[in-house]
Amino acid sequence: MKRSECARLAGLVCATALAMGATAGAQQGGTQDTGATQGAAAAQGAAAAQGSEKPSGADKKFAKEAMEGGLAEVQLGQMAVQKANSEEVKQFGQKMVDDHTKLNEEMKPIATQLGLTPPTDLDAKHKAIQTKLNGLSGDAFDKAYIQAMVKDHQKDASEFQKEASNGKSQALKDAASKGEPIIAGHLQMIQKMAQDHAAAGEKASTTPNTH
């Protein structure tokens, strides 16, 4: 074979190799582009899923009212510890301080994430209750405190149950699910105390005065 023919054959082999390399590179690039597209789609899907669980207006309302109510339970509980006539009412007041302080501490970071500022003072409704209780003493204080706690915990139990079932924020749903049995326990306790207090009052009123 002449030298010129060898050179021409070598050039053809080289050109073929270059063409094959270009084709392989294009295929690899296509695979990378497909991977990037799939990754972007997955990210968008995750973002969409996260967006579907964004807190609703009802979530924020629950968090706000739960923290306001919790603060009220603490401050009114402190008052009961100091002023209640019944030892049972004093003990219940202390339980309100302990349990609702803990519940509020757990709720604070969630409320902050929702853009809410944890309350530092009582709302108007509970300020009115505080003012009323502050002017009472003895059995009158116990009766008014018990009535206020029954009413508050009936509302709280309903709201915690609703949020635990229907909340859009998973963090709030978890907090409500954790708090629900605690609130239900408080309601059961204070309802029994209300019955006992009412029965004791009826007994006292029917007992003849021998003096």
What are the pLDDT tens digits along the chain (211 aa)? 444 444 444 444 444 444 455 444 545 544 444 444 454 444 344 333 333 467 789 999 999 999 999 999 999 999 999 999 999 999 999 999 999 999 999 999 999 999 999 999 999 999 999 999 999 999 999 999 999 999 999 999 999 999 999 999 999 999 999 999 999 999 999 999 999 988 887 776 666 665 5
What pLDDT is recorded for position 54? 77
Task: Please tell me the distance from the alpha carbon of residue 19 to that of residue 24, in angstroms, as a whole number.
Answer: 9
For 9, list phi and psi in degrees, rounded to 5.
-65, -40
Task: Please tell me the distance from the alpha carbon of residue 30 to that of residue 8, in angstroms, as a whole number.
Answer: 33
107, 156, 108, 150: which is closest to 129 by C-alpha?
150
What pLDDT is recorded for position 210? 56
Which residue has tokens 């301080």?
Answer: 97
Those residues with Cβ within 8 angstroms of residue 157's Cβ, 6 or more apart along the chain or in another chain: 180, 183, 184, 187
What pLDDT is recorded for position 188? 97
CA geometry: angle 124, 129, 132, nearest 5 deg: 125
What's the predicted TM-score (pTM) here?
0.71
187, 191, 178: which is closest to 103 by C-alpha?
178
What pLDDT is recorded for position 189? 97
Which superfamily does 56-206 belong to? Ferritin, core subunit, four-helix bundle (1.20.1260.10)
What pLDDT is recorded for position 200? 82
What pLDDT is recorded for position 55? 78
What pLDDT is recorded for position 207? 61
Which residue type, as a one-letter code, is found at position 52?
Answer: S
